Amino acid sequence: MEGTPLHEAAPTERMESGMNVILLGPPGVGKGTQGVLLAEAKSWKHIATGDILRANRREGTPLGQEAQKYMDAGELVPDELIVAMVKETLAAMPGDQGVVFDGFPRTVPQAEALDLALEQLGRRVDRVVVLEADDDVLVKRIAGRRSCPDCGSVFNVYANAPKQEGVCDKCAAALVHRPDDNPETVQNRLDVYKAQTEPLIQFYQDRAGVMAKIPGEGGVDEIQQGILAAL
Ligand code: AMP
């Protein structure tokens, strides 16, 4: 994983690369739902680190076992594990494949590592879309969130209900309330977001034309239109 060869990019390759878009925002703001929609609309790859970690947990991989204690406590998984995981995913993609990053980066060291990894692949962060919502909205959203343990689809009993209650629209598996969506862990995840992830807004703020802030409190379609317009 660490030794994945990365090629040096020629300037022309940079021009031809697909867009690299980061969805940034607190837990429950809708990054997952919007990330899936955006990736579908643009035929981009959706790289959701939380989904990759949950898949590793289901499969019982060493990474999944290592990540478990952090995820269950609402803490961040160590940067080096996350960065290696994302680099491996990026290196396996065609050079012109657009990407939506969802839930990554979550710390300044992750953002610095992403810059470096993208540069080595002739890519760069093209847009950072920040979704914003008040804590009370986030807490309610997370309480209503239902996730598919098999395909990772996300629904919400209040705002984006599955066609049949408790059943995934895409793959018909029984939906679950994520264990880390319980109220105590949610509060810690919100605190961790403010302490470790919110500084990324400052990190990207100074890059001309990169950052767009979108209200994350409307309906799913309305927010998606806002994101598309921001690209
Ligand atoms: P999410 O599905 O994005 O809400 O992520 C669920 C959990 O996975 C988080 O609370 C963290 O424990 C872990 N996780 C996901 N992405 C990252 C990341 N980029 N850095 C560190 N931990 C992460």
3-state DSSP of 14-59: HHHCCCEEEEECCCCCCHHHHHHHHHHHHCCEEEEHHHHHHHHHHH
How many residues appear in the chain? 231
Q: What is the DSSP string of 53-93?
A: HHHHHHHT-HHHHHHHHHHHHTPPPPHHHHHHHHHHHHHTS
- Active-site residue identified among 54, 57, 87, 106: 106
- Active-site residue identified among 57, 189, 194, 207: 189
Q: Which atom of ligand 1 is nearest to the CA of 78?
A: 21
Question: For each of the chain's 231 residues, which pLDDT tens digit applies?
Answer: 333 333 333 333 333 347 999 999 999 999 999 999 999 999 999 999 999 999 999 999 999 999 999 999 999 999 999 999 999 999 999 988 999 999 999 999 999 999 999 999 999 999 999 999 999 999 999 999 999 988 888 899 988 899 999 999 999 999 999 889 998 899 999 999 999 999 999 999 989 889 999 999 888 999 999 999 999
> 111 with 105: CB under 8 angstroms?
yes
Cα distance from N-terminal residue to C-terminal residue, the chain:
32
Considering the entire predicted model, what is its pTM? 0.89
Q: Is 74 in the pocket of ligand 1 (CB under 6 A)?
A: yes
Tell me the CA–centroid distance for residue 78 and ligand 1, in Å.
Answer: 10
Q: Is 71 in the pocket of ligand 1 (CB under 6 A)?
A: yes
Q: Tell me if residue 31 is catalytic.
A: yes
- Active-site residue identified among 123, 127, 145, 146: 145
H/E run at residue 212: strand 211-215
